[in-house]
């Protein structure tokens, strides 16, 4: 399938998938409370989805290398739709947990397989652009989804779940009829990648990028979990202002991912963009410590969002270029490390915040510095090994 035709389709697919996911975000806590969830149970309900993503994203990536991208994407979207309808019909808390577990298990196929699809259809020069477009679609979906969910929750608490399920089901049919397969699973190249192991995916020359992505995800999720409390205490901001702030941050990140990442990676290379993104993120964390108004919160969080936003597409692009295993195996493992950060980040951020309110952001600066040094050390080793091969 031609790149010019496929990328807009993939953009639409991931946008609607994330809209559906975002629709339930503002409603789920209240819906769970109505079914008797305690604060601890609510936290577990939110975390179990990321745990399933952590465990099963690599599996789906490997399966997509073996049987093709399209069927795995369709299964992931259909599973997401089923989980939303299951939640809408839930009358007991265990049903809600079951729906989240099933949804996390099946929908963990979506992101790694779509990224693998992008790697299949793009040249190495355009890989960063393709990954950035997918990142932009995810960001925009997260912006519009919660807003839609908030509006429809006024009708009834389970209405957003029906809406999310219907949106995902329509997206399933859209993929079925419009998206073409990106790989020939019977070809020699595909067969050579059909049984990649976890060890193979981790043995690549840039495998350290998995750890780097873990640090990025860890610091981001820690910020998301604590910033509302920090902004309320330091600047007196409420939920409405915070909604606008995160919307501004999301829009800026989506614009950068969709419009700039491709140009930057083509001109400077993914390595330089990753390093620049790390330093901009660190600057954002530093500035957040000085938030004292709506304006400073919006500007400083946007600085962080721009830096953080350019890292993931660049990491995905570089990994799929250099990895020794199939694209699906590589992107699945990357999604798993990303999910691990999202599992650990919120409780860790909460613990750090309880020590002192600025500690989550100070730790974010430190993690950024460690990530930068990690990149520099391993990049230098890679260059030295390449030089040794040339000399021999």
Express each pLDDT in 302-329 by its tens digit: 999 999 989 999 999 998 888 777 888 8
Q: In angstroms, rounded to a whole number, what is the distance separating the alpha carbons of residues 298 and 302?
A: 6
Q: Which CATH superfamily is domain 196-392 in?
A: MFS general substrate transporter like domains (1.20.1250.20)
Question: How long is the chain?
Answer: 392
pLDDT at 293: 95
Domain segments of the chain: what residues?
A: 1-179, 196-392
Q: Cα separation of 309 and 253, whole Å? A: 5
Whether the per-residue pLDDT at 287 is higher than 70: the answer is yes
Please give the pLDDT value at position 153. Answer: 83
- H-helix segments, 108-197: 110-121, 127-152, 159-178, 188-192
Which residue is associated with the tokens 């230098």?
380
Report helix, strand and coil shares of the chain as percent, to nearest 5. 85, 0, 15
User: What is the pTM assigned to this prediction?
Assistant: 0.86
Burial of 110 (0-12, 13-18, 19+ CB in 10 A): buried
Specify the pLDDT at position 194: 47
Section 194-219 average pLDDT: 73
Please state, rounded to an integer, the average pLDDT across all residues of the chain: 87
At residue 161, does pLDDT exceed 80?
A: yes
For the segment 109-114, the average pLDDT, to the nearest whole number, is 94
The confidence band for 2, taking pLDDT boundaries of 50, 70 and 90, is low
Is the domain spanning 1-179 CATH 1.20.1250.20? The answer is: yes
Asked, colleague to colleague, whether 1-179 and 196-392 share their fold, the answer is yes
For residue 29, the model assigns a pLDDT of 84
In this prediction, residue 92 carries a pLDDT of 94
């Amino acid at each position: 399938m031609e790149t010019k035709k496929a990328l807009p389709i993939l953009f639409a697919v991931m946008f609607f998938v994330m809209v559906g996911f975002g629709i339930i975000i503002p409603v789920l806590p209240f819906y769970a409370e109505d079914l008797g969830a305690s604060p601890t149970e609510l936290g577990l309900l939110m975390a179990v989805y990321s745990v399933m993503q952590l465990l099963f994203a690599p599996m789906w990536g490997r399966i997509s290398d073996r049987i093709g991208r399209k069927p795995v994407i369709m299964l992931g979207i259909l599973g997401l739709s089923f989980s939303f309808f299951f939640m809408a019909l839930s009358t007991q808390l265990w049903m809600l947990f079951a729906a989240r577990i099933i949804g996390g298990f099946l929908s963990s196929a979506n992101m790694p397989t779509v990224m693998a699809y992008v790697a299949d259809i793009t040249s190495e020069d355009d890989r960063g652009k393709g990954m950035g477009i997918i990142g932009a679609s995810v960001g925009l979906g997260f912006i519009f989804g919660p807003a839609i969910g908030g509006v429809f929750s006024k009708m009834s608490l389970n209405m957003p779940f029906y809406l999310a399920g219907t949106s995902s089901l329509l997206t399933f049919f859209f993929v079925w009829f419009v998206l073409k397969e990106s790989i020939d699973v019977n070809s020699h190249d595909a067969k050579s990648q059909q049984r990649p192991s976890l060890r193979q995916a981790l043995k690549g020359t840039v495998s350290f990028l998995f750890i780097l992505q873990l640090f990025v995800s860890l610091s981001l999720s820690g910020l998301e979990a604590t910033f509302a409390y920090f902004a309320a205490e330091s600047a007196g901001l409420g939920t409405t202002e915070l909604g606008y702030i995160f919307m501004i941050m999301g829009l800026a990140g989506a614009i950068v991912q969709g419009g700039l990442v491709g140009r930057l990676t083509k001109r400077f290379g993914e390595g330089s963009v990753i390093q620049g993104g790390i330093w901009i993120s660190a600057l954002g964390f530093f500035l957040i410590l000085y938030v004292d108004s709506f304006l400073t919160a919006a500007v400083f969080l946007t600085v962080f969002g721009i830096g953080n936003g350019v890292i993931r597409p660049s990491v995905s692009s570089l990994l799929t270029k250099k990895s020794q295993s199939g694209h699906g195996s590589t992107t699945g493992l990357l999604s798993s490390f990303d999910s691990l950060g999202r599992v650990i980040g919120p409780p860790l951020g909460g613990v750090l915040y309880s020590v002192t309110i600025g500690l989550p952001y100070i730790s974010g600066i430190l993690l950024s510095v460690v990530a930068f040094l990690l990149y520099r050390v391993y990049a230098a080793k890679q260059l030295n090994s390449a030089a040794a091969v040339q000399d021999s």
